[in-house]
Amino acid sequence: MARWLVDPSNPLTSRVIVNRYWQQFFGIGLVKTSENFGVQGEHPSHPQLLDWLATELVRTKWNVKAMHRLIVTSATYRQSSAVSPSLLARDPENRLLARGSRRRLSGSVIRDQVLAMSGLLAEHQGGPSVKPYMPPGLWRSISNAKYVQDHGDKLYRRSLYTYWRRTVPPPTMMAFNAVEREVCIVRKEQTNSPLQALTMMNNITFIETSRLMAERMLREGGKSTEDKIAFGFRLATSRFPTSDESQILRDVHRRFSQRYRNDATAANALLGVGEFPRDSSLNAAELAAMTMLASTILNLDETITKE
């Protein structure tokens, strides 16, 4: 059966695989019903492209990295995501591929991204699953099992290694539409809800990564506040902020600087979130203000990627 699945004369396997890769990068597959290639599934929007990608995957001896590189270096993927009102009305799902994809990252990738930007991401590969931060009492509300949190580098491993109990999935992942693992789900619709923004602003992982990102902004961002803002914004979005965005972020920094200069207790409480030790050489009020600025940038980035 394994030989039959990958036999060049079998047209199905490679088509299903490249369609799922396309779905990963564009948010929707060339065949929208990526879970169903049968007679009740949807016809491909670009059948010749799907055929060529499938045969190319077989020709390169099922080289997954080469296929990913082929897609992300294509002119189609590298298009601007800007869209006119008329085109949006005509093609809201971008089935015509007339613009670049613009979609929110998955919950696991958002977590990995903020860990990487803060410098906390533990990049070593392999090993057993880990148990990062979890709301207290969550497991006990459903069963008698006890959740024993890990410490050290295990808190900052990629989401791929997060321990996943099927009946009690990680709540952060579920807030961002992770698929339930009770059944196999290939495609799931994304939602935009206030809970997602609240997660980004209040979850321990995101507060802690904001603090570490703020430390990077203070140490590496330059001398002026404008330079630090530009550094953090580019770290999160891979571009420089516009003048309007810079003005908003300067106002955010000014308000929080004033607040934490007048409330050392609140500043220390914010900087105490998470297990990673803070840089004691940095002024607490300034670090707290920059932490909130970093959190604002991360939430702005999340808003940009999901529109």
Show the tokens assigned to 121.
């991401």
Q: Which amino acid is at 43?
A: H
Q: Would you give the DSSP letter of residue 153?
A: G
Give the separation between CA 130 and CA 151, rounded to whole angstroms. Answer: 9
**How much is the pLDDT for 144?**
79
Question: Model confidence over 24-52: pLDDT tens digits?
Answer: 899 899 999 998 888 888 999 999 999 99
Give the separation between CA 294 and CA 191, rounded to whole angstroms. Answer: 24
Answer yes or no: pTM beyond 0.85: no
Give the separation between CA 63 and CA 70, rounded to whole angstroms. Answer: 11
Check whether 300 has a pLDDT greater than 80. no
Show the tokens assigned to 206.
């995101």
Among residues 68, 114, 75, the alpha carbon closest in space to that of 97 is found at: 75
Instruction: Calculate Rg over the CA atoms of the chain.
Output: 22
Which residues, in sequence order, are CB contacts of 280 under 8 Å at separation 6+?
A: none
DSSP H helices in the chain: 2-5, 12-26, 47-59, 64-72, 85-90, 107-118, 171-175, 194-202, 204-220, 225-237, 243-261, 264-271, 284-306
Instruction: Give the domain ranges of the chain.
Output: 2-90, 198-306
Least confident span in 170-184, 217-231, 246-260 = 170-184
For residue 88, the SS3 value is: helix
